[in-house]
Amino acid sequence: MMQPIRIGTRGSKLALFQAHHIADLLQLQGFQTEIVVITTKGDKILDVSISKIGSKGVFTEELEEQLASGDVDIAVHSAKDMPSSLPDGFELISYTKREKVNDVILSHREDIDYKNPRKPLLLGTSSTRRVATLKHYYPHVKTVEVRGNLQTRIKKMEEGTCDALLLAYAGAHRMGYDELIRHELSLDEFTPAVGQGSIAVEAFETLDPALKKQIVAATHHTETGYRLRAERSYLKILEGGCSIPVFCLAHYRAGQVDMSGGIISLDGKERIQHEVSGPADEAEMVGKSLAEKVIQSGGDRILKEIRQQLNN
Ligand X SMILES: NCc1[nH]cc(CCC(=O)O)c1CC(=O)O
CB 30 within 8 A of CB 10: no
Residue closer to ligand X, measured from CB, 40 or 289: 40
The Cα 82–Cα 75 span in angstroms is 11
Among 42, 171, 240, 261, binds ligand X (CB under 6 A): 171
Is residue 81 part of the annotated active site? The answer reads yes
∠ at Cα 45 (204, 38), nearest 5°?
A: 35
Q: Using the rule CB under 6 A, is 83 a contact of ligand X?
A: no
Q: Using the rule CB under 6 A, is 194 a contact of ligand X?
A: no
Q: Give least dist CB 198 to ligand X, A.
A: 6
Which region among 31-39, 75-83, 183-191, 280-288 touches ligand X (by CB under 6 A)?
75-83
H or E segment to which residue 71 belongs: none
Q: Helix or strand or coil: residue 80?
A: helix
Residue closer to ligand X, measured from CB, 60 or 289: 60
Residues 110-130: b if buried by 16+ CB within 10 A, e if exposed = eebebeeeeeebebbbbbbbb
CB 302 within 8 A of CB 270: yes
Q: Give least dist CB 133 to ligand X, A.
A: 13
CB 99 within 8 A of CB 173: yes
Q: Using the rule CB under 6 A, is 197 a contact of ligand X?
A: yes
Q: Using the rule CB under 6 A, is 196 a contact of ligand X?
A: yes
Q: Using the rule CB under 6 A, is 168 a contact of ligand X?
A: yes
Catalytic: which of 81, 163, 178, 208? Answer: 81
Report which residue's Cβ sits closest to ligand X: 171
Q: How many residues bind ligand X (CB under 6 A)?
A: 9
Q: Using the rule CB under 6 A, is 78 a contact of ligand X?
A: yes
Beta strands 5-9 and 74-78, pairing class? parallel
Q: Using the rule CB under 6 A, is 10 a contact of ligand X?
A: no
Query: Where in 128-167 is the site for ligand X (CB under 6 A)?
Result: 167
Beta strands 199-204 and 74-78, pairing class? antiparallel
Residue closer to ligand X, measured from CB, 171 or 287: 171
Among 73, 81, 202, 231, binds ligand X (CB under 6 A): 81
How would you class 44 by CB atoms within 10 Å of its CB: exposed for 0-12, middle for 13-18, buried for 19 or more?
Answer: exposed
Residue closer to ligand X, measured from CB, 5 or 175: 175
Among 80, 129, 229, 232, binds ligand X (CB under 6 A): 80
CB 230 within 8 A of CB 286: yes
Q: Give least dist CB 213 to ligand X, A.
A: 25
Q: Give least dist CB 149 to ligand X, A.
A: 9
173-176 long-range contacts (CB < 8 A, ≥24 apart) are 173/99, 173/100, 174/14, 174/17, 174/18, 174/99, 175/13, 175/14, 175/17, 175/150, 175/151
H or E segment to which residue 7 belongs: strand 5-9
Q: Give least dist CB 124 to ligand X, A.
A: 11
Residue closer to ligand X, measured from CB, 62 or 81: 81
Q: Using the rule CB under 6 A, is 170 a contact of ligand X?
A: yes
Q: Using the rule CB under 6 A, is 73 a contact of ligand X?
A: no
The Cα 153–Cα 170 span in angstroms is 15
Catalytic center residues: 81
Q: Interface with ligand X by CB under 6 A: which residues?
A: 78, 80-81, 167-168, 170-171, 196-197
